[in-house]
Structure 1
Amino acid sequence: MGGSGRAERSCLGCRQVRPQSELTRYVVSPDGIALLIDYRHRLPGRGGYTCPTMGCLSHAVKRNQFQRALRAGNLQVDLAQLVIEFRNQVLQRIENLIGMARKSNQLVSGSNQFLAEVGRGRVPGLVLLAKDVSVGIGDKIRQRITASASGTPICQLFTKEHLGTLLGRDERSVVGIWQGKLSEALVLELQRYEDFAGEI
């Protein structure tokens, strides 16, 4: 326990001590054979932790740290499968956060609406551009963000159709998440996804 009262754990990869909330948790499956990612820290049982990075997970697997920390000698750890599962869980978290931003009116979608709001002085904490956005619209959005000198991150992860589906609308080329806790949480999750997938 750190001085701030927050629970702390050691990463099985780099051994750095960090707040538990900043680490990825893993548990053993009920049959004692498979390693499960407990991304939301909700599953029962003894847990092991790593930093949410490919490097730390890889080190922990190669050094058999999960078997030792979780006291599971028969544990079979497949690094490639863990990476896929981690990526899927982070992606689900990203989609959930976008849904929360929509329900709480913390976003704007559509290039015209986005540019109009930014023109009125609103500052987004994150901009999501569709992977298949047109060159013209993409350049216009990037130029506006650059001109505002806000340092707002721009990420391309979903297609126009997927963005629209997440918002319950037709295709969307751009989604702006306004500054706040939701945009900060999304930026963090997108950074984690990028480390494991390298797609953003």
Structure 2
Amino acid sequence: MVSQPFRSCVACRTSRQKRDLVRVHLVPDGKLGVDLGGGSGRGVYVCPLHVCLEQAVKRNEFARCLKVTLAPMTVEDLEELIRERVSRKVAALLGLARRARKVVSGAEAVESAMKRHSAQLILSAADASANSVSKLRTLAKEVGIVWMQALGKEELGAALGGAPRVCVAVTDPCFAGAVMSVLKKIPVEMEARERPHGQAADLGGRAEPRKVWG
């Protein structure tokens, strides 16, 4: 097994696997950009936790570590930047899964995938009503399939090259793991990280919904 590289959070100084952190770097227009999967060039790493992002912004850690002068940025601006990047990455992964025929959509297809135990992850649209997915969510809970929220109905459908979708099932464990790993980068409070959805990478467990607004 290949060992995973570690990096330290610029705020709390905790050493974590690089894949569990958000990389912040400078983009050509002189502003900050975020990278979810590592990258080349100068960058700094931060935990995807509100408290760490807030501390890094307040202490001006990004400008100090990158050795540049940055325009003022609020923690809300940074969190929105991360959510936007997560949203794009999830859409890209779903597009790849669609081309590999590793994702199904539509209530009947999703239900069938769960009953056949081929579904590894269920994604429901963040703007889907609770009533529209209640039956499927109950089934997911019964069979022990991870349920998360990502994108809006329009964005979920666009990622699959079609009409708006309320929910989809990812049937490949590699794609499912990749999507869940990206969703873990959404900034949360410390208490939320300790809840079951923080264990979403475990395909055998369940996850509370984590929203990604498209």
Instruction: Say yes or no: TM over 0.5.
Output: yes
TM norm structure 1? 0.79
| Map 1:172-183 → 2, pairs under 5 A | 172-183=165-176
- Answer whether contact 2:21 2:185 (CA < 8 A) is retained: no
Runs of 5+ unmatched residues, structure 2 = 190-209
Q: Distance in 1 between matches of 2:149 and 2:166?
A: 10
Say which one has the larger Rg: 1
CA distance in 2, matches of 1:105, 1:48: 36
Change (3 A) 1:129 1:6: closer
Aligned length: 189
CA distance in 2, matches of 1:102, 1:91: 17
SS at match of 1:15: coil
Q: In 1, distance between residues paired with 2:18 and 2:114?
A: 37
Partner residue in 2 for 1:34? 31
Q: How do residues 17-56 of structure 1 correspond to structure 2 at under 5 angstroms?
A: 17-29=15-27, 34-42=31-39, 44=41, 46-56=42-52
Offset at 1:89?
0.8
Q: Is contact 2:113–2:119 with CA below 8 Å preserved after alignment?
A: no
Q: Does residue 140 in structure 1 map to residue 135 in structure 2? A: yes
Q: Is the 8 A contact 2:113 2:169 kept in 1?
A: no
Aligned equivalents of 2:25 and 2:167: distance in 1?
38
Confirm or deny that 1:14 pairs with 2:12: yes
How far did residue 84 of structure 1 move? 1.9
Report if the CA contact (8 A) 1:9-1:18 is conserved: yes
CA shift, 1:172, in A, is 2.5
Amino acid at match of 1:172: R
> Structure 1's 158 and 61: CA in aligned 2 closer, same or farther, altered over 3 A?
closer
Percent of pairs with identical residues: 29
* 1:92 maps to 2:88: yes
Q: Offset of 1:77 from its aligned partner?
A: 4.1
Structure 1 residues 170 and 17, CA, compared in 2 at 3 Å: closer, same or farther?
same
CA positional deviation for 1:30: 5.0
Deviation at 1:124, TM superposition (A): 1.9
* 8 Å CA contact 1:114, 1:175 repeated in 2: yes
SS in 2 for 1:192: coil
Q: CA deviation at 1:35?
A: 3.0
Match of 1:193 in 2: 186
C-alpha distance 141-194 of structure 1, shift in aligned 2 (>3 A): farther
Q: Give the match for residue 82 of structure 1.
A: 78
